[in-house]
Structure 1
Amino acid sequence: PLPEGKKVLHAIPRYYTLDGQERVKQPVGMHGTRLDVETHIITASVSSVQNLVKCIRATGIDVEDLILEPLASGEAALTPEEREGGVIMADIGGGTTDIAVFRDGNIYHTSIIPVAGYQVTSDISIGLGLPFNVAEKMKKSYGNVSTQVDIDKAPEVGIENGHSASYRDLCDIIRSRMEELFELILLEMPTTDYRSLAPFGMVLTGGTANLTGLDELGRSVLRIPVRKGQPLDTSIYGITDVLRDSAYATTVGLILWQARNKEGSMWQARKAGILGGFVSFIRRLFRG
């Protein structure tokens, strides 16, 4: 039974067992007398879901379904080979980093870490004595966690309203927090042998994944392949350039999820102008 106050968000089959034959991916059309299934169940707080849906509907937008963020990002940014062979998806957003491990073509493990872009900006604000909005702009404009950058030769970083800071201090603060995040991700893995679990390494999505050098830092800390993930299938009515960005992996993934998992999807029913307007709205809503 589910814990009180929880509801099932997703029930995703990992594989089936048919009459003792294990790891059957698709039993449809096969014959047998006993069928078992191993399922990855994702739950959510009922009150949190209700409050989220209420807030969205208050803007005049109806909610048809709820999708866990890394599942949507995985739809857009992972290759079939990565999903099959084993890969860690890390969607680093504003308030949380959402983790999903894919293996054998299916979801294997999910987790959420309450450390992401907001905490980086907060560190900059506190560490450099800057207003939060200035720290956010400084992070986006000048943030660099590459191990190759020559920080000692970098000049002072200037921002509007007379605020400035040492480029070295800025990069040190960001790098420290991101190194911690990679270590926290490892703690969330279902096994210490994460290299065997995910031979294809890690794919980074979300707005914070756009930090310069983050994939390089990830490879240095984790000692596995790490790449920045962008939507791979962006041939959506000619709006490729708008969506080819890690920050929009979830947006594109939601559209693809709807198209691949729902009958009569809007993918088949909408014209270019309507979908383009939808994407423009999402871009304004989630950019950052």
Structure 2
Amino acid sequence: MTEAGEQRISPHEVMFALDIGTRNVVGIVGRQEEDQFIILDVEVIEHPSRSMYDGQIHDIDKVAAVAQRVKSNLENRLGFSLRQVAIAAAGRALKTYKVHVGREVDITKIIDKRMIDSLEIEGIQKAQHALEQESSTQDIKYYCVGYTVINYYLNDGVMTTLKGHRGDKIGADILATFLPQVVVDSLYSVMERIGLDVINLTLEPIAAIHVAIPPKLRLLNLALIDIGAGTSDIAITQDGTVVAYAMASVAGDEITEAIAKNFLLDFETAEKLKVSLNKKEQHSFSDIVGIPYEMSTSEIIERIDEVIEALAEEIGEKILAYNGKTPSAVFCIGGGSQIPTFTQHLAAKLGLPKERVVVRGTEIIENTIFQCNRIEGPEFITPIGIGLIALKDREQDFIHIHVNETAVKLLNTKQMFVSDALIRIGYNARKLIGRRGKGLTCFVNGAQKNIPGEPGEAAKIFVNGVPGNLDTKIKNRDNIVVEPAYDGKDVHLTLNDLLMEVKTVQYNGLDFKLIGDPLVNGKPTALNYSIQDGDQITFKEIQQIDELLMRLQKRSEHCRVFVNEVLVDKDYVMQDKDHIRIEEIEIREKPIEGPFNAVVVHEAEAAPNPQKDCNEHGILVHVNNEPVLLHSDRNTPYIFVDVFNYIDFDRTKVQGTLILKLNDQRANYTDPIADGDRIEIYWE
């Protein structure tokens, strides 16, 4: 019985932390006393057989048996039952995947955080989908527990940041880390077998970094390496948070195997020899055929140094790959970190001074007091971290929320945000940012004109009815509603729309654009023509009254023109929105009386009459299903307004909206007409 067992401690005051490792199971019972963590008792029991591989539980019954012994021993010494437990999922169970994601964006908009967040979410979802597709078991589900952006891209060029820039294409290389759900399930199964309720679940790298690199140091770019038996876990901090998790598939077992091969030892003897290398200088052992050895630590290390260097090199490569550069310092924990010369090799690989790569033991943990036999060494960092995290945050290990009425369960390993919930349900990241509609480019009188599509609108996010965004923090029972973004409409532009800036006058009650015959790609075209990308549009603007009369095919000497009911000269320059009225003068031939011989003056001829001789030059059209012959001796093309000279239609009495159609399409006064055209004119 320890000293802790003699005290009257309430079971409700304590935190039971259980670290289930590949080699052993460590149990720690402690309690919070002001700002100190008081460790009441510790129990460590090795697995009698290989029921754990690389941190993953393979034989639930065997692991549960060892965990039960740890629990029972602690209960016997403490004098009360343990009912709740804090645990950690193995960092070596983490899966990582690297993807590239890109999308087109609106070049007219500045790239903001919302656009960048949406891009990163799409990358995480792409990585998760690829990971699940490649999994040997398609039913395996993964949770994203961290990610880092390796590179951003703007118009295919590498950028350190996208925020504040403009471009038409953005991209990112994303390295995402996932935890298989099966790892969580197997841990829960073991806890259920031994009668424990899980009140807190974290990740081993998170627990380790919590005590090895306290928050005040995380502004620095640091790497934490937990070298276990089968794998080595890596966590990287920067700007106050953990930015990446990684795993190297090499660890302490590589050293054990090297010792076994070099000295012909069984695995257990080699493991004991490895553990003693950093504890004493001289070693005595015998190989499997009975040959005795007396060797110093330096002699043994010399024989296996290549393996140690290879281990350091692979871990160093992982750090550089996930951090993108050499970190400021590296902290090493776990039993494998104690191998002599390892930290020197790792420092050389990273290009760091050797004093910047150090081994951390329990002695560096702040505000921790042992009321039992003190445990020391880097292998006990993680179990203490599990207990401290559980005391700091007693919330449940999962939070339950709703996203658009869908129930979602999130692993509560960190502060959760709206973006975490959307990743969990696989929300399409492209629905978060509305795209601008497709634009077009044309050329007007030789000048390039770019017409953008309509802008899209970003998604709207509400948390418990309050407007939020992807960075809004969420908690248990929150309700999230996402109204998807919508894309802007593509450009649909008629020739008439394109010429909106051209001056327009009112003629006989209708708008009349002051342009000559417009040409599209060299051909006369109606104003209702839909502009296509690359079209060449040419036209001449009409300025003076005499140009208008010529466009209407009226002889200026036979007309009087009123602008805004004021008689004007033929050189009057028309203004936008002017009201034009034209009176045609009908003058008959008559003799001129006087003292001289009679002279005949020829004045305006009557308007063309469709009842006259039809052998004259002309075209036949159908107006409101009736044939109408337009005829004259002119050589210029006919336009729509000419029809009114041949039909009985009163435009002076407005009876609604005047509808003009040419071959079933909306028409304008100046649209050219041809033989056989179908014309409709009516009030609507």
- Tell me the TM-score normalised to structure 1 length: 0.66
Secondary structure of the residue aligned to 2:361 is coil
1:123 is aligned to 2:258: yes
Pairing partner for 2:374 from 217, 242, 249: 242
Amino acid aligned to 1:183: E
d(CA) in 2 for partners of 1:235 and 1:57? 32
TM-superposed deviation, 1:206: 0.5
Q: Bigger CA drift: 130-139 or 157-166? A: 157-166
Aligned to 1:106: 241
d(CA) in 1 for partners of 2:323 and 2:245? 15
Note the 1:1-288 alignment, pairs <5 A: 1=125, 2-3=128-129, 4=132, 5-8=140-143, 10=145, 42-142=177-277, 157-159=283-285, 164-165=292-293, 166-167=295-296, 170-188=300-318, 189-190=320-321, 194-195=325-326, 198-199=327-328, 201-224=329-352, 225-231=356-362, 232-239=364-371, 242-263=374-395
d(CA) in 1 for partners of 2:392 and 2:337? 26
Amino acid aligned to 1:92: I
User: Structure 1 residues 114, 143: closer, same or farther in 2, change over 3 A?
Assistant: same
Amino acid aligned to 2:307: R
Amino acid aligned to 1:159: F
d(CA) in 2 for partners of 1:46 and 1:191? 23
User: Structure 1 residues 97, 163: closer, same or farther in 2, change over 3 A?
Assistant: farther
d(CA) in 1 for partners of 2:389 and 2:147? 13
Gaps of at least 5 residues in structure 2 are 1-124, 133-139, 150-162, 164-173, 398-684
Larger Rg: 2
TM-superposed deviation, 1:58: 3.2
d(CA) in 2 for partners of 1:130 and 1:248? 27
User: Structure 1 residues 71, 177: closer, same or farther in 2, change over 3 A?
Assistant: farther
8 Å Cα contact 1:143/1:170 also seen in 2: no
Secondary structure of the residue aligned to 1:262 is coil
Residues 57-113 of structure 1: per-residue CA shift (max 9 Å, x gap): 434444344322221111111144531111011000111100011101111111111
Amino acid aligned to 1:158: S
TM-superposed deviation, 1:133: 0.8
User: Structure 1 residues 89, 239: closer, same or farther in 2, change over 3 A?
Assistant: farther
Q: Bigger CA drift: 243-252 or 161-170? A: 161-170
Which is richer in strand? 2
TM-superposed deviation, 1:218: 2.8
Structure with the larger RCO, 1 or 2 (CA within 8 Å, 6+ apart): 1
d(CA) in 1 for partners of 2:202 and 2:261? 34
Amino acid aligned to 1:219: A
Secondary structure of the residue aligned to 1:202 is strand
User: Structure 1 residues 88, 13: closer, same or farther in 2, change over 3 A?
Assistant: closer
8 Å Cα contact 1:7/1:45 also seen in 2: yes
TM-superposed deviation, 1:243: 3.7
8 Å Cα contact 1:76/1:249 also seen in 2: yes
d(CA) in 2 for partners of 1:209 and 1:247? 9
TM-superposed deviation, 1:191: 5.9
Amino acid aligned to 2:382: T
Amino acid aligned to 2:145: H
d(CA) in 1 for partners of 2:256 and 2:339? 12
d(CA) in 1 for partners of 2:372 and 2:348? 31
User: Structure 1 residues 69, 40: closer, same or farther in 2, change over 3 A?
Assistant: farther
8 Å Cα contact 1:234/1:252 also seen in 2: no
Amino acid aligned to 2:300: L
TM-superposed deviation, 1:128: 1.6
User: Structure 1 residues 192, 264: closer, same or farther in 2, change over 3 A?
Assistant: closer
Gaps of at least 5 residues in structure 1 are 15-21, 23-38, 145-153, 266-288
8 Å Cα contact 2:205/2:226 also seen in 1: yes
TM-superposed deviation, 1:252: 1.3
8 Å Cα contact 2:221/2:238 also seen in 1: yes
d(CA) in 2 for partners of 1:127 and 1:251? 33
8 Å Cα contact 1:124/1:174 also seen in 2: yes
Aligned to 1:282: none
Amino acid aligned to 1:255: G
8 Å Cα contact 1:40/1:108 also seen in 2: no
8 Å Cα contact 2:143/2:180 also seen in 1: no
Secondary structure of the residue aligned to 2:321 is coil
d(CA) in 1 for partners of 2:396 and 2:199? 13
d(CA) in 1 for partners of 2:259 and 2:244? 32
User: Structure 1 residues 178, 204: closer, same or farther in 2, change over 3 A?
Assistant: same
Amino acid aligned to 1:67: T
Count of residue correspondences: 229
d(CA) in 2 for partners of 1:256 and 1:63? 15
User: Structure 1 residues 193, 63: closer, same or farther in 2, change over 3 A?
Assistant: same
User: Structure 1 residues 202, 237: closer, same or farther in 2, change over 3 A?
Assistant: closer
8 Å Cα contact 2:142/2:179 also seen in 1: yes
d(CA) in 1 for partners of 2:266 and 2:373? 33
Residues 149-171 of structure 1: per-residue CA shift (max 9 Å, x gap): xxxxx87x312785644545631
User: How large is the Cα RMSD of the aligned pairs?
Assistant: 3.4
